[in-house]
Structure 1
């Protein structure tokens, strides 16, 4: 009965502290898994695949520790804002926010207790970083303009332009699903 009451009330200070720790862990795991892709312009489109590789257990443990509505949305907001401050493309930040809210809704349909729904929520969450690449495929010129302002070199962007194709987009999407 006590755990039922605890799940019904909102996020507590303890929950927020735990969420902060997990936000940091998710960020570190994503960066460790994805850094080798992000630094290479021919592989950068596969960042979400690498980022999904290590974060899964952390994500599922978060849902076990804080199985409450809004937890993933808050974490997604924090990580997205941090990414924006660190100079990431706005598409990555927006993608991360939208993916975390959708993952929160998905896991919440079964009160964060269904392994299948939690894994499906993780797959959705893992698509957050693809926001920047989707923005790239929609409008490469505008994407490049933003990234040049953020400090990306023209040489890096030129190599990305030479690499980008529909095949790369398909690999990015299917690979992220399979790894997540």
Structure 2
């Protein structure tokens, strides 16, 4: 999967929505966030998402990462997702970030969607939301699309006061 200029904008918008979900828990000094990545830490997309998460949340959140590593071992994904849920139960995070489609199908849908009140922010999802039974009361996020127009339109539905969107690319 190749993401050029859209990745940083998608992650930024998703994290803004995620932060809005955490506002009611403002009395805590640090929030616990569980980030479940479909792929391993060596993939560029995962590194971009981690960078976006860290830049937006590292001052206020303790972030625990889990890698399903389904790009290299799709068959092992469900077992790693089960382990991620066990960590979720131990950590009791204030929020979850689930990156890419396999994190949805193997982790969010079987363990979190409609089962917990913890807010889940998705990012990097390519499939239509209906595939995962979204929308769900505790799941929100931004879909990955090659064109930014759909993401901006969705953001404007959520926050009608948005008038301007800027993007910066570090790629050549």
Relative to the length of structure 1, the TM-score reads 0.31
Identify the structure with the greater helix proportion: 1
Relative to the length of structure 2, the TM-score reads 0.32
